[in-house]
Structure 1
Amino acid sequence: MSLDLLIKNANLADGRTGVDIACEGGRITGVEPGITAEAARTIDADGQLLSPPFIDCHFHMDATLSLGLPRMNESGTLLEGIALWGELKEILTVDAVVERALRYCDLAVSQGLLAIRSHVDVCDDRLTGVEGLLEVREKIAPYIDLQLVAFPQDGLFRSPNAEKNLLRALDMGVDIVGGIPHFERTMEDGARSVKWLCEIAADRGLMVDLHCDETDDPMSRHIETLAYETQRLGLQGRTAGSHLTSMHSMDNYYVSKLLPLMAEAEVHAIANPLINITLQGRHDTYPKRRGQTRVPEMRGYGINVAFGHDCVMDPWYSMGSGDMLEVASMGLHVAQMTSREAMRYAFDCVTTHPAKIMGLEGYGVDTGCKADFVLLQARDTIEAIRLKATRLAVVRAGKVISQTPPRVAALSLPGRPETIDPASYAPRAN
């Protein structure tokens, strides 16, 4: 039987080299050296890295590519971004949400980003974003897995109709329960919102993903409540705390209590390096806090940590390109994760770790997994992060859906090479 696709001589993220990958019927049917079967298409990887696709488990697709609408965020702060989004919501249309989201998904595919979890604001009584992204989820299903989180941006109890609208959104088909406890009017309301949201998720058999403690205030400790409610309601492995930036300002002794509680409850953590270091520490002069949560310490306790992009060209963040390698690079720099092992861990934070958070079936590069992967112009995961490696080929269900030519520079220097591949600068053994 002829294969649909055969990749020859690839390196894998787990360190295996010279491996062939056979694909048939949308699944990987073989991962081993020397596969000789006929294939409709064969690609020689030539020792380049083949990875499972990138995953962004924290994003805001209802706002993406809306930069400058209705005006720019001049201060660059979180609060001005929220205010701007409030202005944009009033003039938002379903067609505009769909058009911008589909454009972003085109970009995502080109970057090898084939699974996204997006929060969608439910504080607009029209539920414009919800309606738009439900349509987008259906349209992109053949090439991107999209999960939607019902997100009460203005506060579950602070916004007049947020409770009702959140339930409406879940009834419409939104996948996950979201919240923002630190944005409620009081700490007590924040804790009460965590309890309410987790009970809704438990009752409906859903996952929970909360914007949790996205603040510099060390007394914002709603992640503790989330860990408790997770244990109380039997939601282990189904809850995630996103951002968790207050932890960078917390007392070390308290954190030494908090992290074991998170680990015991199997609460996932999602840091968003680009946004966290841009929006946090705005009230500091010097020394200025980094803003990102305590990723190395969480890793030490066995907490599953992922990195998210959060925003691309919207009211909160005017940069971004859907490149999860840029996210991983910023994450490892801010966390000072510079050992070889830690840098490989940063790659996992945009691949296998978010796959666990999203509960993706058949993810990976092994026999029986879905034939979804990306071929990178790099020899290993560290080099991929260092170079923000070109996506040579992006494969979904065994079919190439995006290709990019290798990045090669032509030189005109006497006595020097005519072309340069960025990877050629890697140190060589003497």
Structure 2
Amino acid sequence: MKIINATLRKTSGLHTVSWEGERISDIRVQAGRVSAEPGDIDAQSQLLIAPLVEPHIHLDATLTAGEPEWNMSGTLFEGIERWAQRKETITHEDTKLRAHTTIRMLAEHGIQHVRTHVDITDPTLGALKSMIEVREEARGLIDLQIVAFPQEGIESYAGGRELMERAVELGVDVVGGIPHFENTREQGVSSILFLMDLAERSGCLVDVHCDETDDPNSRFLEVLAEQARVRGMGSRVTASHTTAMGSYDNAYCFKLFRLLKLSGINFISCPTESIHLQGRFDSYPKRRGVTRVAELDRAGMNVCFGQDSIKDPWYPLGNGNILRVLDAGLHICHMMGFEDLARSLDLVTDNSARALNLGDRYGIAVGRPANLVLLDADSDYEAVRRQAKARVSIRGGKVLMTRVPERVEFMGL
């Protein structure tokens, strides 16, 4: 099969992309517009991209907002309290049903790669066992990476270390942490050393909820980055949130950026959730509570956007559309210059794929998987301006989803 008359990112002219079986077999520039043959998909000059990527979400908690109570303060910490209540009622089937429902929402928007954090501060590891089943069952729609996420801490939660080790034995892809939530700074540092040792032994990737607070004295990022640097693990390590960086003074950040660049670690920002949860202890002026996305990006470090939550105790909204998050993130992070807009899809495609360590399993190139998404737009700029919908989604060389564009008629005009 092939797609004709396609616009590819960062290239000129129209292209034909062909595939045999599950792999891309040919990419060629057209001399001009060509006519469709039976079985062809005509892109009609629209933008053909590698699939959108969701690098940070909590599938085990989605669709639970208000159960049993709403997070009335809107704070991160009340969210954790509300989730602790909900955890007492979760079942195997409940977790799987909500995860599958959310995955279909993501796939509807052209997302085919997802990293989910799963709370493992539960002696039964019930949610994790459910999500391991979901990973296999949803393979036709998405590739799912699972993070062992210690929501209530590694050192501060009874048996936290043992639960992390059991999660690795069960087959998680990524080990996580939450050092700023540990009871003391010493425990926060110890938790990072433990999880990095565990990742090094097991071969897992690392993704840490790091300094998700407005506290300018929360500086576990430097610990994580230094550990990644000395172990040579930077490309396998991600720091998520790092919202305290929005409160660091510039003198400290200048020094920190040198270490961050040397470490080679990745960054994930969840701008809609961060701007909702952070700044809650401020009157006015209120901080945005988002990490320095533009500065990290312009310093040559890998940074991307994630949705984090969909209708859960931390964030009551969300619909699976990561271009909505991209739109908000560009506003929040002061990235509205045309150069930023013209390559904005990097923040939800290539950069995210790099954070997930997808390598040659991602991208439009001969020999790579025929995983493709046709957007109802002809450029990055138009895609983000209009929050363009996925018109066609192709996975493993097969059409996964098609969408008929909306038709609007003004009556009597």
* In 2, Cα distance between equivalents of 1:308 and 1:38: 37
Query: What residue number does 2:181 align with?
Result: 183
* In 1, Cα distance between equivalents of 2:20 and 2:157: 50
Residue 23 of structure 2 is aligned to residue 27 of structure 1: yes
Residue 317 of structure 2 is aligned to residue 319 of structure 1: yes
Query: What residue number does 1:410 align with?
Result: 409
| Contact 1:6 1:39 (8 Å CA) reproduced | no
SS at match of 1:163: helix
Q: TM-score, normalised by structure 2?
A: 0.96
Structure 1: 5+ residue stretches without partners? 415-430
SS at match of 2:348: coil
| 1:286-330, Cα deviation, whole Å (9 max, x unpaired) | 111111100111112211001111000111111111111111111
| Contact 1:15 1:380 (8 Å CA) reproduced | no
Query: What residue number does 2:63 align with?
Result: 65
Aligned pair partner of 1:114 in 112, 115, 118: 112
**Does 283-292 or 240-249 show the bigger shift?**
283-292
What does 1:27-426 align with in structure 2 at a 5 Å threshold?
Answer: 27-34=23-30, 41-360=39-358, 361-412=360-411, 414=413
| 1:66-106, Cα deviation, whole Å (9 max, x unpaired) | 22212222222211110011011111111111011011111
Aligned pair count reads 410
Structure 2 counterpart of 1:364, one-letter code: G
Deviation at residue 208 of structure 1 after TM alignment: 0.8
Q: TM-score, normalised by structure 1?
A: 0.92
* In 1, Cα distance between equivalents of 2:81 and 2:334: 33
Deviation at residue 38 of structure 1 after TM alignment: 9.3
1:228–1:219: structure 2 CA closer, same or farther, 3 Å change rule?
A: same
RMSD over aligned Cα, in angstroms?
Answer: 1.6
1:75–1:37: structure 2 CA closer, same or farther, 3 Å change rule?
A: same
* Identical-pair percentage: 40
**Does 111-120 or 364-373 show the bigger shift?**
364-373
* In 2, Cα distance between equivalents of 1:345 and 1:47: 18
SS at match of 1:379: coil
| Contact 2:92 2:126 (8 Å CA) reproduced | yes
SS at match of 1:305: strand
| Contact 1:363 1:370 (8 Å CA) reproduced | yes
Structure 2 counterpart of 1:219, one-letter code: N
| 1:190-245, Cα deviation, whole Å (9 max, x unpaired) | 11111111111112122111000000001101000001111222212111100000
* In 2, Cα distance between equivalents of 1:161 and 1:120: 17
* In 1, Cα distance between equivalents of 2:14 and 2:354: 27
**Does 257-266 or 70-79 show the bigger shift?**
70-79
Query: What residue number does 2:14 align with?
Result: 18
SS at match of 2:234: coil
* In 1, Cα distance between equivalents of 2:160 and 2:295: 35
* In 2, Cα distance between equivalents of 1:49 and 1:233: 40
Structure 2: 5+ residue stretches without partners? none
SS at match of 1:50: strand
SS at match of 2:161: helix
Query: What residue number does 1:421 align with?
Result: none
